[in-house]
Amino acid sequence: MEKWIIHSDLTSDSELFVGENLMGQYPLIDLCQKLKGHVVICSDVALKNLYAKKLSETLNADLIFIPSGEKSKSFETANKVLGQLFKLQCRRDTVLIALGGGVTTDLVGFVASIFMRGIPFISIPTTLLAMVDASIGGKTGIDISYGKNLIGSFYPPHAIICDFKTLESLPENEYLNGVAEIIKMGLIQDASICELFMQGLQKNELIYKAIQGKIKIVEQDPKEKGLRRILNFGHTIGHGLESISDYQMAHGEAVALGCIVESYLSMILGFLSQNDFELIQKLFRRFSLHLPKNFRRDSILKAMSFDKKNINNALRFVLIDRIGHAIPFQGDYCRSTSEVELLKALQWMEDQYG
Amino acid sequence: MEKWIIHSDLTSDSELFVGENLMGQYPLIDLCQKLKGHVVICSDVALKNLYAKKLSETLNADLIFIPSGEKSKSFETANKVLGQLFKLQCRRDTVLIALGGGVTTDLVGFVASIFMRGIPFISIPTTLLAMVDASIGGKTGIDISYGKNLIGSFYPPHAIICDFKTLESLPENEYLNGVAEIIKMGLIQDASICELFMQGLQKNELIYKAIQGKIKIVEQDPKEKGLRRILNFGHTIGHGLESISDYQMAHGEAVALGCIVESYLSMILGFLSQNDFELIQKLFRRFSLHLPKNFRRDSILKAMSFDKKNINNALRFVLIDRIGHAIPFQGDYCRSTSEVELLKALQWMEDQYG
């Protein structure tokens, strides 16, 4: 087992435990004992028989289930969970544990941050995507009709427990969602991730590297004033695609396509070599990439207009100048593009994947 | 004009400006210019013609109105305001200004804290209650069926602007809501407030003292781990009364009655002298005090069971041992009472005010 401390100037540090068979073992039991309060586990209902029931017995915890799927990241579900916490007589000393993928950790983190203005929160991500991305960095969020994660808070968990054992039960498409984020981390910061990945999957080593990469970024810029924006590479277009597909498109596929098109944009803007661009396409060859059926250029432009990086109504993109390096742009780590180049990139995307 | 900085280890300091005729003048214009972003004013609709329209012209700001009254401190209104912010193309650089009483500043602060995970927020409290209480200390909140302020966040405003001029248009009952909090501040921390008050209303001096008193407390304990609990004096019972009246009872009357009954509790527990208790009753003589029509002892006990100070299902009260001093209780600043004494205090309340 590895243990890291994620330092944060947000509110408090997070302890991160990574290893095999951590569920229901030390350190979780230890943490709950130290925090002393009443423990409530809020779990994806799909994990009910797999982990949730057993864990609630081990920790003598109450159990709340939320439906699987992105639709649960809503005000409605947040409100229901809050109501259940009050019914369970929860108070400020209640410890809230999220058990599930990114939907669960984002939603439950948000609930923990606003229940009585914040209660102790422990995150147990059970998907590769949540381990390498959603659970690290203190972001919580829910979706509204205008887009994903547009409502939320910065609320670092007390602890994060990544148990590799849970990845064994993960379906292939869920697994690929995480792989897309791992490759993205390689593209923006750590070329060695891409090299390792091309050599064949050194699974655990890749996960460690991706987690460490994310920690390095969020510690330097927890509130996304600059550097942290690079994590958004591939996501300006990726989130747009997800939005117009009404979140039916897998996050990994949307991000993979987004990374390719934003690399294409980096290339036509003169930053990225054709050679690197072709390598990047190869990195994503395991993904089945095609645009949502109802794709229309004006729909994605509208969806992207709600992107959090935008200023003065101008779309801004993270760009790379080689595999492993996002361009700093004087600390902005993103820049606006002319409409001509953006439309050229979208046209290329339609030609390739439409 | 006075200017103070409220230091905070939450996320950032707040600038506090107190004086006459500050609305639409320096410092507000200066602040908005420094922050650069698109400005949106979210105002109580009752202030539309009084201040809101003029201020929006001065600041070239968009304007959102919320209905007057406690019912607006809801998920529903928060959701509506969030939707309007998206319609107005707001982004992370949008500056959100709350203009109104505590309902407005609490609600809009909450919205600012969760919109895209937090945007700059400026609070312009226009009631005495909001100036001396709600707007200071970084708490935001909304009500749900289980009680007041049970959902919220700690989110200090960028700046708070208390313009005494706005108090001139305040109705008497609104004014008394603030007076109750000023007297409470005197009871828990600063006997000189009570003395000044008994001598006749030195309005501005009292407001300054109450604001400074609150700053002193919240700077020492921003997240209410101990000392800050003393601000809750009178509110355990006060909130209970408001809850069972379905928030029809004025906050000032509920707090006044709560302060008297919690002083009575302090007396029968042997901490407070009869002389001080009688003085406290006199301090609140301007208030019309009577229990809500549907008062029942089991209803208030149920309502108080959701109080945020409770641990292990035990009610806890802030107690005073003289005018101007809340009892530290080893850093807890509150303690549980036996059922016998609590019921005795409730019985006394029914006899006096039923």
Run means of pLDDT, 10 residues per run, chain B, 354 residues: 82 88 86 89 96 95 95 94 95 94 97 96 96 93 88 95 92 92 97 92 86 94 92 96 90 96 97 97 94 93 88 89 97 93 96 94
- For B91, the closest of A75, A145, A308 (CB atoms) is A308
Which residue from B minimizes the CA distance to A139?
B117
Cβ-defined contact of B151 to A313 (cutoff 8 Å): no
Residue A235 has pLDDT above 70, yes or no: yes
Q: What are phi and psi of A324, to 5 degrees?
A: 100, 10
Which stretches within A7-137 are classed as H helix?
28-35, 53-59, 75-87, 102-114, 128-129
Q: What are the backbone angles phi and psi of residue B68, rounded to the nearest 5°? A: -70, 155
Measure the CA–CA gap between B96 and B49, rounded to whole angstroms: 19
Q: How many CB pairs under 8 A join A and B?
A: 80
| Res A25: pLDDT | 82
Model pTM? 0.91
Quick one: average pLDDT of A148-157?
92
Cβ-defined contact of B82 to A151 (cutoff 8 Å): yes
CA distance B184 to B181: 5
Higher model confidence: residue A309 or residue A323?
Answer: A323
Looking at residue B65, its pLDDT comes to 98
Interface of B with A (CB under 8 A): 10-11, 75, 79, 82-83, 86, 89, 91-93, 110, 113-118, 139-141, 144-146, 150-154, 223, 305-306, 308, 310-311, 313
Contacts of B223 in chain A (CB under 8 A): 118
Tell me the one-letter amino acid at B78.
A
Q: Is A270 in a helix, a strand, or coil?
A: coil
Q: Do B92 and A308 touch (CB under 8 A)?
A: yes
User: What pLDDT is stored for residue A12 in this prediction?
Assistant: 79
Contacting residues of B for A117, CB less than 8 Å apart: 139-141, 152-154
Span A88-106, mean pLDDT?
94
Residue B105's contacts (CB-CB under 8 Å, 6 or more residues apart) are B98, B123, B124, B125, B130, B134, B135
A102-114 vs B102-114: helix crossing angle, rounded to 10: 160
Residue B303 and residue B254 in contact, taking contact as beta carbons nearer than 8 Å: no
Higher pLDDT among residues A338 and A237, named by residue? A237
Contacts with A150 from chain B: Cβ below 8 Å: 86, 115-116
Of B140, B151, B306, the CB nearest to A82: B151
Q: Please list every residue in chain B whose beta carbon sits closer than 8 Å to the beta carbon of residue A139.
A: 117
Please say whether the dihedral angle defined by the alpha carbons of residues A67, A70, A75 and A81, taken in this order, is positive or negative: positive
Task: Check whether A232 has a pLDDT greater than 80.
Answer: yes
On the question of pLDDT at A307 being above 90, the answer is no
- Mean pLDDT across the stretch A25-43? 89
pLDDT band (50, 70, 90) for residue A330: very high
pLDDT at position B55 is 95
Q: Answer yes or no: are the C-beta atoms of A155 and A113 closer than 8 Å.
A: yes
The residue among A12, A224, A29 whose CA lies nearest residue A118 is A12
CB contact under 8 A, A82 and B310: no
Chain B residues in contact with A146 by the CB 8 A cut-off are 83, 86
pLDDT score recorded for residue B307: 86
| Partner-chain contact B86 A144, CB within 8 Å | yes
Q: How far apart are CA B313 and CA B162, in angstroms?
A: 39
Instruction: Region of A212 please: left (phi>0), alpha (psi -120 to 50) or beta.
Output: alpha
- Percent of chain A residues past pLDDT 90, beyond the cut: 77
Cα torsion angle, B70, B75, B76, B80, sign? positive
Instruction: Search chain A and give the residue with CA nearest B74.
Output: A79
Name which of B114, B225, B228 to mutate to probe chain A: the one with the most chain A Cβ atoms within 10 A of its Cβ: B114
Q: Which residue of A has its CA nearest to B141?
A: A117
For residues A305 and B350, which has the higher predicted lDDT (pLDDT)?
Answer: B350
Residue A201: pLDDT band with limits 50, 70, 90: low
Q: What is the mean pLDDT of residues A144-160?
A: 91
H or E element, residue A346: helix A339-353
Contact residues, chain A, for B308 at CB < 8 Å? 91-92, 116
B150–A311 CB contact, under 8 Å:
no
Lowest mean pLDDT among A73-87, A208-222, B10-24, B213-227: B10-24
Query: For the residues A3-16, what does the mean pLDDT come to?
Result: 83
- Chain B residue numbers with beta carbons less than 8 Å from the beta carbon of A79 are 75
pLDDT score recorded for residue B152: 97
A347 has pLDDT over 70? yes
Two structure tokens written together for A218 = 């969020």
Residues of chain B found within 8 Å of residue A93, distances taken between Cβ atoms: 311
Q: What is the ipTM of this complex?
A: 0.90
For residue A78, the Cα-to-chain-centroid distance in whole angstroms is 19
- Count CB atoms within 10 A of the CB of residue B60: 9
**Average pLDDT of every residue of chain A:** 93
CA dihedral A242, A248, A254, A257 (to 10 degrees): -110
